[in-house]
Amino acid sequence: MNERVIATAPGTVWFVGAGPGDPELITVKGRGLIERAGAILFAGSLVSETATRWAPAGCVVADSKDMTLEQMSTWLIAQAARCETVVRLQTGDPGLYGALIELVQPLDAAGVPIAVVPGVSSAMASAAAAVESLTLPEVTQTVIFTRVEGRTPMPEGESLEALAAHHSTLCIFLSITLMGKVTAALLAAGWSPDAPMVVVHKASWPGEEKIVRGTVATIQALCREARIVSQSMIIASPNLGARQWTTLAKSKLYDASFTHRFRRASVPAADLVQDTP
Protein backbone atom coordinates (compact mmCIF):
# COMPACT_ATOMS: atom_id res chain seq x y z
CA MET A 1 0.00 0.00 0.00
CA ASN A 2 1.46 3.31 -1.06
CA GLU A 3 1.81 5.92 1.68
CA ARG A 4 -0.16 9.03 0.87
CA VAL A 5 1.74 12.33 1.22
CA ILE A 6 -0.36 15.27 2.38
CA ALA A 7 1.07 18.71 1.58
CA THR A 8 0.68 21.23 4.34
CA ALA A 9 0.16 24.94 3.71
CA PRO A 10 2.96 27.28 4.79
CA GLY A 11 2.60 29.31 7.94
CA THR A 12 1.96 33.04 7.92
CA VAL A 13 4.78 35.56 8.21
CA TRP A 14 3.65 38.52 10.30
CA PHE A 15 5.47 41.82 9.91
CA VAL A 16 5.05 43.34 13.36
CA GLY A 17 5.89 46.90 14.34
CA ALA A 18 7.82 46.64 17.59
CA GLY A 19 7.34 50.34 18.30
CA PRO A 20 10.02 52.92 19.05
CA GLY A 21 12.01 51.10 21.73
CA ASP A 22 10.11 50.55 24.96
CA PRO A 23 8.91 46.91 24.76
CA GLU A 24 5.65 47.93 26.42
CA LEU A 25 4.78 50.12 23.44
CA ILE A 26 4.26 47.13 21.17
CA THR A 27 0.59 46.59 20.33
CA VAL A 28 -1.46 43.96 22.16
CA LYS A 29 -1.86 42.11 18.86
CA GLY A 30 1.89 42.21 18.23
CA ARG A 31 2.65 40.81 21.68
CA GLY A 32 0.07 38.07 21.16
CA LEU A 33 1.80 36.99 17.96
CA ILE A 34 5.18 36.87 19.71
CA GLU A 35 3.64 34.72 22.46
CA ARG A 36 2.59 32.05 19.96
CA ALA A 37 5.37 32.40 17.39
CA GLY A 38 7.42 29.42 16.28
CA ALA A 39 10.13 31.69 14.88
CA ILE A 40 11.03 35.37 15.27
CA LEU A 41 13.43 37.42 13.16
CA PHE A 42 14.11 40.77 14.84
CA ALA A 43 16.04 43.77 13.57
CA GLY A 44 18.69 43.80 16.29
CA SER A 45 20.38 47.00 15.16
CA LEU A 46 17.20 48.95 15.96
CA VAL A 47 14.91 46.71 18.03
CA SER A 48 15.74 45.83 21.63
CA GLU A 49 16.02 42.06 22.14
CA THR A 50 13.82 42.47 25.21
CA ALA A 51 10.90 42.77 22.75
CA THR A 52 11.26 39.01 22.21
CA ARG A 53 10.90 38.18 25.91
CA TRP A 54 7.33 36.93 25.44
CA ALA A 55 8.42 34.25 22.96
CA PRO A 56 7.43 30.70 24.02
CA ALA A 57 9.91 27.99 24.88
CA GLY A 58 11.31 26.40 21.76
CA CYS A 59 10.75 29.47 19.58
CA VAL A 60 13.64 30.08 17.18
CA VAL A 61 14.85 33.66 17.62
CA ALA A 62 17.33 35.19 15.17
CA ASP A 63 18.87 38.64 14.74
CA SER A 64 18.88 40.06 11.22
CA LYS A 65 21.42 42.83 11.74
CA ASP A 66 24.16 41.01 9.79
CA MET A 67 21.83 39.54 7.12
CA THR A 68 21.20 40.71 3.56
CA LEU A 69 17.62 41.05 2.30
CA GLU A 70 18.01 37.79 0.39
CA GLN A 71 19.18 35.95 3.52
CA MET A 72 16.29 37.37 5.52
CA SER A 73 13.73 36.29 2.92
CA THR A 74 15.26 32.81 2.72
CA TRP A 75 15.14 32.49 6.53
CA LEU A 76 11.49 33.59 6.71
CA ILE A 77 10.45 31.21 3.94
CA ALA A 78 12.25 28.30 5.62
CA GLN A 79 10.64 29.00 8.98
CA ALA A 80 7.19 29.38 7.41
CA ALA A 81 7.59 25.84 6.04
CA ARG A 82 7.72 24.45 9.58
CA CYS A 83 5.85 27.02 11.75
CA GLU A 84 2.28 28.23 11.72
CA THR A 85 3.29 31.70 12.98
CA VAL A 86 6.50 33.47 12.01
CA VAL A 87 7.18 37.03 13.19
CA ARG A 88 9.41 39.57 11.51
CA LEU A 89 9.85 42.16 14.25
CA GLN A 90 10.65 45.61 12.88
CA THR A 91 11.33 48.94 14.53
CA GLY A 92 8.55 51.53 14.72
CA ASP A 93 5.94 50.87 12.04
CA PRO A 94 6.74 48.41 9.24
CA GLY A 95 5.44 50.81 6.60
CA LEU A 96 7.91 53.59 7.43
CA TYR A 97 11.49 53.09 6.21
CA GLY A 98 11.19 49.38 6.94
CA ALA A 99 12.05 47.53 3.68
CA LEU A 100 8.58 45.99 3.91
CA ILE A 101 7.89 45.58 0.20
CA GLU A 102 11.41 44.29 -0.54
CA LEU A 103 10.83 41.49 1.96
CA VAL A 104 7.23 40.77 0.98
CA GLN A 105 7.88 40.23 -2.74
CA PRO A 106 10.01 37.04 -2.32
CA LEU A 107 7.43 35.66 0.12
CA ASP A 108 4.66 36.32 -2.39
CA ALA A 109 6.69 34.55 -5.07
CA ALA A 110 7.13 31.55 -2.72
CA GLY A 111 3.41 31.43 -1.91
CA VAL A 112 3.90 32.33 1.75
CA PRO A 113 0.96 34.21 3.32
CA ILE A 114 1.87 37.51 4.96
CA ALA A 115 0.15 40.05 7.20
CA VAL A 116 1.20 43.37 8.76
CA VAL A 117 0.63 44.67 12.29
CA PRO A 118 1.23 48.43 12.60
CA GLY A 119 3.41 49.90 15.32
CA VAL A 120 4.10 53.18 17.10
CA SER A 121 6.45 55.30 15.01
CA SER A 122 9.47 57.04 16.54
CA ALA A 123 7.92 60.28 15.25
CA MET A 124 4.97 59.84 17.60
CA ALA A 125 7.13 58.58 20.45
CA SER A 126 9.49 61.55 20.10
CA ALA A 127 6.65 64.06 20.19
CA ALA A 128 5.29 62.27 23.26
CA ALA A 129 8.67 62.29 25.01
CA ALA A 130 9.04 66.02 24.42
CA VAL A 131 5.36 66.70 25.28
CA GLU A 132 4.81 68.39 21.91
CA SER A 133 1.84 68.32 19.56
CA LEU A 134 2.58 67.78 15.89
CA THR A 135 -0.55 69.74 14.93
CA LEU A 136 -2.24 72.79 16.43
CA PRO A 137 -5.36 74.69 15.37
CA GLU A 138 -4.53 77.74 13.22
CA VAL A 139 -0.78 76.99 13.40
CA THR A 140 -0.28 73.88 11.29
CA GLN A 141 -2.51 70.96 10.41
CA THR A 142 0.05 69.11 8.32
CA VAL A 143 2.83 66.68 9.27
CA ILE A 144 5.51 65.62 6.79
CA PHE A 145 7.55 62.45 7.36
CA THR A 146 10.77 62.66 5.39
CA ARG A 147 14.54 62.32 5.41
CA VAL A 148 17.59 64.09 3.99
CA GLU A 149 19.19 62.75 0.86
CA GLY A 150 22.22 60.60 1.59
CA ARG A 151 23.25 57.40 -0.16
CA THR A 152 19.57 56.92 -0.96
CA PRO A 153 18.50 59.71 -3.35
CA MET A 154 15.25 61.59 -2.90
CA PRO A 155 12.60 61.51 -5.65
CA GLU A 156 12.16 64.66 -7.70
CA GLY A 157 10.28 67.37 -5.82
CA GLU A 158 10.95 65.84 -2.39
CA SER A 159 14.08 67.67 -1.33
CA LEU A 160 13.95 68.84 2.28
CA GLU A 161 14.11 72.45 1.12
CA ALA A 162 11.02 71.96 -1.06
CA LEU A 163 9.09 70.25 1.74
CA ALA A 164 10.23 72.77 4.37
CA ALA A 165 8.80 75.57 2.23
CA HIS A 166 5.34 74.50 3.48
CA HIS A 167 6.37 75.63 7.01
CA SER A 168 4.40 72.75 8.52
CA THR A 169 5.65 70.12 10.96
CA LEU A 170 8.64 68.12 9.73
CA CYS A 171 9.56 64.77 11.27
CA ILE A 172 12.95 63.99 9.78
CA PHE A 173 14.10 60.38 9.94
CA LEU A 174 17.55 58.86 9.40
CA SER A 175 19.32 62.20 9.20
CA ILE A 176 21.05 62.95 12.49
CA THR A 177 24.52 62.60 10.92
CA LEU A 178 23.44 65.09 8.23
CA MET A 179 22.24 67.82 10.56
CA GLY A 180 24.21 70.44 8.64
CA LYS A 181 22.18 69.61 5.53
CA VAL A 182 18.96 69.73 7.56
CA THR A 183 19.53 73.21 8.96
CA ALA A 184 20.83 74.53 5.63
CA ALA A 185 17.65 73.32 3.92
CA LEU A 186 15.44 74.94 6.55
CA LEU A 187 17.24 78.28 6.23
CA ALA A 188 17.03 78.10 2.43
CA ALA A 189 13.28 77.49 2.75
CA GLY A 190 12.84 80.65 4.79
CA TRP A 191 12.86 79.31 8.35
CA SER A 192 14.25 81.73 10.92
CA PRO A 193 17.59 80.86 12.57
CA ASP A 194 15.65 81.23 15.84
CA ALA A 195 12.94 78.72 14.85
CA PRO A 196 12.74 75.99 17.53
CA MET A 197 13.81 72.41 16.90
CA VAL A 198 13.89 69.30 19.03
CA VAL A 199 15.92 66.10 18.62
CA VAL A 200 14.98 62.93 20.49
CA HIS A 201 17.54 60.13 20.66
CA LYS A 202 16.15 56.63 21.26
CA ALA A 203 12.67 57.84 22.10
CA SER A 204 11.07 55.69 24.83
CA TRP A 205 14.15 53.44 25.29
CA PRO A 206 14.37 52.93 29.09
CA GLY A 207 17.46 54.68 30.45
CA GLU A 208 18.73 55.71 27.00
CA GLU A 209 16.39 58.45 25.81
CA LYS A 210 17.86 61.92 25.33
CA ILE A 211 15.99 65.11 24.40
CA VAL A 212 17.84 68.09 22.96
CA ARG A 213 16.07 71.41 22.38
CA GLY A 214 17.52 74.22 20.34
CA THR A 215 16.99 76.35 17.28
CA VAL A 216 17.84 76.03 13.62
CA ALA A 217 21.03 77.96 14.39
CA THR A 218 22.08 75.98 17.50
CA ILE A 219 20.73 72.44 17.22
CA GLN A 220 23.71 70.94 15.37
CA ALA A 221 26.22 72.08 18.01
CA LEU A 222 23.93 70.97 20.84
CA CYS A 223 23.57 67.48 19.36
CA ARG A 224 27.32 67.26 18.88
CA GLU A 225 27.83 68.29 22.51
CA ALA A 226 25.35 65.61 23.63
CA ARG A 227 27.17 63.04 21.44
CA ILE A 228 24.04 62.14 19.56
CA VAL A 229 25.04 60.42 16.31
CA SER A 230 22.41 57.71 15.73
CA GLN A 231 18.78 56.62 16.17
CA SER A 232 17.33 60.09 16.53
CA MET A 233 14.21 61.88 15.37
CA ILE A 234 14.56 65.50 14.26
CA ILE A 235 11.43 67.64 14.61
CA ALA A 236 11.06 71.14 13.22
CA SER A 237 7.65 72.70 13.69
CA PRO A 238 5.93 76.03 14.27
CA ASN A 239 4.13 74.25 17.12
CA LEU A 240 7.21 73.55 19.23
CA GLY A 241 7.06 75.10 22.69
CA ALA A 242 3.30 75.70 22.54
CA ARG A 243 2.99 74.35 26.08
CA GLN A 244 4.41 77.66 27.29
CA TRP A 245 2.39 79.95 25.01
CA THR A 246 0.02 82.35 26.78
CA THR A 247 -2.27 82.59 23.75
CA LEU A 248 -3.52 79.48 22.07
CA ALA A 249 -6.27 78.95 19.49
CA LYS A 250 -8.65 76.36 20.92
CA SER A 251 -10.10 73.41 19.03
CA LYS A 252 -13.56 74.18 17.62
CA LEU A 253 -14.69 70.61 18.31
CA TYR A 254 -14.63 71.21 22.08
CA ASP A 255 -15.84 74.83 21.92
CA ALA A 256 -18.96 75.42 24.04
CA SER A 257 -20.52 77.23 21.06
CA PHE A 258 -19.98 74.32 18.68
CA THR A 259 -22.79 71.85 17.95
CA HIS A 260 -22.10 68.34 16.72
CA ARG A 261 -23.98 65.03 16.77
CA PHE A 262 -22.93 64.20 20.33
CA ARG A 263 -23.44 67.60 21.97
CA ARG A 264 -25.42 70.78 21.37
CA ALA A 265 -23.88 74.21 21.88
CA SER A 266 -24.40 75.47 25.41
CA VAL A 267 -23.13 79.02 24.87
CA PRO A 268 -23.84 81.37 21.96
CA ALA A 269 -20.71 82.15 19.98
CA ALA A 270 -20.98 85.85 20.72
CA ASP A 271 -20.93 85.22 24.49
CA LEU A 272 -17.56 83.49 24.49
CA VAL A 273 -14.61 85.47 25.78
CA GLN A 274 -11.90 85.37 23.13
CA ASP A 275 -8.20 85.26 23.98
CA THR A 276 -6.34 88.25 22.69
CA PRO A 277 -2.64 88.44 21.85
Reported as a single tens digit per residue, the pLDDT across 76-117 is 999 999 999 999 999 999 999 989 999 999 999 999 999 999
Band (46; pLDDT cuts 50, 70, 90): confident
Rg (Cα) of the chain, in Å, rounded?
A: 23
Q: Would you give the end-to-end CA distance of the chain in angstroms?
A: 91
User: What residues form DSSP beta bridges with 136?
Assistant: 140
- Confidence bin at 249 (pLDDT 50/70/90): confident
15 has pLDDT over 80: yes
DSSP readout, 120-181? --HHHHHHHHTT--S-BTTTB--EEEEE--SSSPPPTT--HHHHHTT-SEEEEES-GGGHHH
266 pLDDT above the threshold of 90:
no
Confidence grade of residue 2 (pLDDT, cut at 50, 70, 90): very low
Q: Which residue has the higher pLDDT, 144 or 262?
A: 144
Domains of the chain: 12-120 (3.40.1010.10), 123-244 (3.30.950.10)
Task: Label the pairing between strands 143-147 and 169-173.
Answer: parallel
User: What pLDDT does residue 269 have?
Assistant: 61
> 267 or 139, which is more confident?
139
**pLDDT tops 50 at residue 6:** no
pLDDT at 10: 86
pLDDT tier at 152, thresholds 50, 70, 90:
confident
Count of residues for the chain?
277
